[in-house]
Structure 1
Amino acid sequence: MTNRVRTTPHSQSHEVGWYDEMRSVRTEQAIAHQASRSQMLMQTLAPARLRESLSLNRPPSIRNATIAGMQATIAVVVSAIALHYSPWSHMAGFAALGGMAALFGRFASPAKRRSMVFTAGCMLTAPVAILSFMALLGIEPVGMLLLLSVIAGLLAAVAHRTQIGAPGAVIFVFAASAAITPIDSGAAWAERVLATAAGAAAAMIVCLLTDHLRDLDVRLPAPPSIPPANTASKLSPLTPGYAPQFAVRVAACAAISSLIAYAMDWSHPAWASIGAIAILQGVHLPGTIHRAWQRTLGTIIGAFIAWVILSAHPSFWQILLVVAIFQFITEIIIGYNYALGQIAITPMALLMTALSGHAGATEMAVSRIYDTALGALVGIVFALVLSSLDERVHLARHHARKV
């Protein structure tokens, strides 16, 4: 007579739970294998990353994006025109840079918005003052690039710590890069600083007068979460405490990319550091990879547009008109896809550089492509080499879901 073991509902549920737990353990083991650095490289180069980079997303508020674009456009145009009709017309480009403070805090309350725009104005003006002073001292180009890298790290840390938001530290570093060109007098130093500050003041005034047009009841999407894979992992890139680590990473990445560009005798090596910093602003590995694809592809198209415009040798008014159009368009389309934004940002940045009186305008477009590609490559390498286990597991899970 065969003895049968009676199975109770409790024991059945216990067995099911045990099997589910074992299945979960095997899944985590598989993900841990997929999170190895060799697998990470394959996941980075997978065609799925490019497809994701080209996807479109609806921005949180088209209205606020439009208002921010309008505010920045007015601030940039008014600042540039005011300087153009002054004895310091050659400083119109720096005034336009200061006006970009209006881009920050588009979803904040009115009081918080004023604080964020003021902070952004200071973060645009301060690096111009510091690097212009160093340029006045006659520091060699390599030294200036290293100083730019250190300041880029500090700017990234402050932007991260204060949670100033989009468009992030890359705007501040772009303003700083404009100040590394040599000057020969204290008057020239004062002109750069005051012009940038005047642009930031214009941004403050424009935002004060038009902020009532914004929609303050916007529900922002939750930031992406990275579940911890172990308790000894690094600080999350989403927390303010990550700022010092982020500063070191940005400074080292900016230094390496700009020095490589300088060693290759490229005409604008500082732009390589800007490209690298933009890549590192991704909060996780998939986002970093997407930014690399988007920034590179968008820059190639945008640089071609800039080359066509600059080849026609436009006047000041023509350049300013095109800058205004691209500034406004950028804020509307960049929320849908970062690559679309880069198509407009690239010619706008090059035309603003032309406003500062830089020669060889058409050559700048080609240089922009090289520098951006180099910066993207260095940024990706840094993100992969310095990635934590949590970040690699997040990439492996993301890749598994998409594939």
Structure 2
Amino acid sequence: MPTLTADPSRLRRTRGALVHPMSGAVWRRSLRVRSADATVAVSLRVGLAAAVVLVAFGITGHGSVAGFALLGALSSAFSRHEPLRRTAQKVGLVGAAVVVSVLVGGLVAVSGMPVEAQIGVVAVQAGAAAALLHAFRVGGPGPVILVFAASAAVGYAGSAAHLGVAVASAAIGAAVGLVVAVLPFVFLPWGPARLSTARALGVLARVPAGADAAEARSAVVTARQTLALTAGPGARDHDLAVVLTEAEAALDRWLADGDAGPIRAVARHERELRKTKRHSPLPVASSAPGELPRPAAFLAPGLAGLGTRDMRVHTGRVVLAAALSGWLAAGLGLDHPMWASMGAMAAMQGITYAGTVERGIQRLLGNVAGAALAAGLIALSLGYWQTAVVIAVLQACTEVAAARNYGLCTMFVTPMALLIVGLGTVVGPEIGIGRVLVTVVGVVVGIVVAAVTLGAEDRAHLAEVA
């Protein structure tokens, strides 16, 4: 009769993975601040969406549910520098997902089920949210916002009437987020295509100095796809299409004989392309048309991605980590145990195990700093309008920091989240301590679950970064 025995090799790998977070190099990488470009426009857009809903709900006397509208409006942060079509698709998808998340959380609250069951349902919702955004390649803040929306509804919806108000508020906010996200295209329809082309030329210009040629070619491919989504595949004579053709030809020339002249010639357009203009024709050197691909589909690949084995495994890991962390936090008697589920989920957004560890460290450090900031703000006993201004500013700062370091981003997100909670109920400075404690639980559980379920690709990556 076969017996169940532990796999010694797997146990060794798990032990090695659990030691990885103790490395000083890992902590140093977690503290790195990356360079980023074109972050101001997105931060202003998301800050505007937040301000619109906060002002509207404040004026109409519905400030207590403005937090749900704000969560819907934050869907505007889920598409950065993408063409109109893709922006509308992604922001619309996330906005709808926020509304559904609020509905799920509200139904859990109204049902009267015990807290352990509530945590289990929200954990399943967390897995579904992670799968949805991953399959449809939606970047931005990630599925944590969807889990926060569900947990906020659990704490608010004491009746069907409350549930209806929360869902309606989230839907209004999602509509505002969508409008604000697509509004810039009225004035700058070519903005994403110009920026993507400028980025490609920037990478290309660094190739003679030792930059990866494959990265430059990939950047050109990305720019072509962005242009195709903006103008359609028939715009082969567009100046951006011609520039991209020249860029690839210049790269081929460099790889063939080391001649950097063509690269310098085409890279000179980068500065002009980074200027904020509705459209400005470029003095292209060639009249040859540029090839553009067929615009990538959105719905079909996303639906197909939901059914893959890798997606099922990833979803299962997220559900497990979210449930275990929430149950552990509840067992320890901590307030807001679903926030622990958010911490585990946020850590597991890392593509690799090493990425999971770095995100976990960054979230923990960011929460400690953010909780201290939140405690100071809450101690000021701000009124609704002062709180609304602070939330809008924090959201704009979050977007500026997001591309640079997740810990910095979390430092702004944490006080914003706690102030949002304060819109619907009275909170004290001590809520910051509770936030840190549940974050510790979530991050630790998330890292442990990721270590125990280590895959082959994670093992290879750990060996590279060790």
Q: TM-score, normalised by structure 2?
A: 0.71
1:17-55: per-residue Cα shift (whole Å, max 9, x none)?
Answer: xxxxxxxxxxxxxxx99x833333333311110011111
Counterpart position of 1:235 = none
Counterpart position of 1:120 = 94
Q: How does 1:135-284 map to 2 (within 5 A)?
A: 135-181=109-155, 183-211=157-185, 212-213=187-188, 214-216=191-193, 217-218=195-196, 219=199, 241=308, 242-284=310-352
Counterpart position of 1:50 = 27
Counterpart position of 1:398 = 465
* Aligned-residue offset at 1:274: 0.4
* Aligned-residue offset at 1:359: 2.5
Contact 2:83 2:192 in 1 (8 A): no
Counterpart position of 1:363 = 430
Work out the CA distance in 1 between the residues paired with 2:327 and 2:47.
33
Counterpart position of 1:339 = 407
Contact 1:124 1:172 in 2 (8 A): yes
SS at match of 2:139: coil
**How has the CA–CA distance of structure 1 residues 37 and 140 changed in structure 2, closer, same or farther, with 3 Å as cutoff?**
closer
Work out the CA distance in 1 between the residues paired with 2:348 and 2:76.
23
* Aligned-residue offset at 1:186: 2.3
- Gapped runs of 5+ residues in structure 2? 1-8, 204-214, 216-304
Contact 1:43 1:396 in 2 (8 A): no
Work out the CA distance in 1 between the residues paired with 2:160 and 2:60.
19
**How has the CA–CA distance of structure 1 residues 88 and 56 changed in structure 2, closer, same or farther, with 3 Å as cutoff?**
closer
1:159-200: per-residue Cα shift (whole Å, max 9, x none)?
Answer: 111111222111111111111125343221110000000001
Contact 1:158 1:243 in 2 (8 A): no
Work out the CA distance in 2 between the residues paired with 1:136 and 1:36.
44
* Aligned-residue offset at 1:107: 2.6
SS at match of 1:181: helix
Counterpart position of 1:28 = none
Counterpart position of 1:98 = 72
Structure 2: which amino acid aligns with 1:351? L
Counterpart position of 1:88 = 62
Structure 1: which amino acid aligns with 2:129? L
* Aligned-residue offset at 1:87: 4.9
Contact 1:79 1:99 in 2 (8 A): yes
SS at match of 2:175: helix
Structure 2: which amino acid aligns with 1:82? A
Counterpart position of 1:291 = 359
Counterpart position of 2:16 = 39
Q: Which of these residues, 380, 393, 396, is aligned with residue 447 of structure 2?
A: 380
Contact 1:323 1:351 in 2 (8 A): yes
SS at match of 2:429: helix
Counterpart position of 1:111 = 85
Work out the CA distance in 1 between the residues paired with 2:118 and 2:18.
34
SS at match of 1:346: helix
Work out the CA distance in 1 between the residues paired with 2:192 and 2:87.
13
Work out the CA distance in 2 between the residues paired with 1:110 and 1:374.
40
Contact 1:88 1:191 in 2 (8 A): no
1:190-215: per-residue Cα shift (whole Å, max 9, x none)?
Answer: 10000000001001111222244554
SS at match of 1:191: helix
Contact 2:105 2:152 in 1 (8 A): no
Structure 2: which amino acid aligns with 1:315? G
Structure 1: which amino acid aligns with 2:458? E
Structure 1: which amino acid aligns with 2:378? L
Work out the CA distance in 2 between the residues paired with 1:40 and 1:114.
40
* Aligned-residue offset at 1:335: 1.3
* Aligned-residue offset at 1:137: 2.1
Work out the CA distance in 2 between the residues paired with 1:140 and 1:67.
44
Work out the CA distance in 2 between the residues paired with 1:380 and 1:165.
22
Considering only aligned residues, what root-mean-square deviation do their CA atoms show, in Å? Answer: 2.1
Work out the CA distance in 1 between the residues paired with 2:162 and 2:13.
53
Work out the CA distance in 1 between the residues paired with 2:407 and 2:401.
9
SS at match of 1:267: coil
Structure 2: which amino acid aligns with 1:142? E
* Aligned-residue offset at 1:140: 2.1
Work out the CA distance in 1 between the residues paired with 2:60 and 2:25.
53
1:198-237: per-residue Cα shift (whole Å, max 9, x none)?
Answer: 0010011112222445543324897xxxxxxxxxxxxxxx
* Aligned-residue offset at 1:89: 3.0
Question: Bigger relative contact order, structure 1 or 2, given CA contacts below 8 A and separation 6+?
Answer: 1
Work out the CA distance in 2 between the residues paired with 1:89 and 1:326.
18
SS at match of 1:362: coil
**How has the CA–CA distance of structure 1 residues 41 and 182 changed in structure 2, closer, same or farther, with 3 Å as cutoff?**
closer
* Aligned-residue offset at 1:345: 1.1
Structure 2: which amino acid aligns with 1:38? R
* Aligned-residue offset at 1:338: 1.1
Counterpart position of 1:317 = 385
Aligned residues: 348
Work out the CA distance in 2 between the residues paired with 1:140 and 1:78.
37
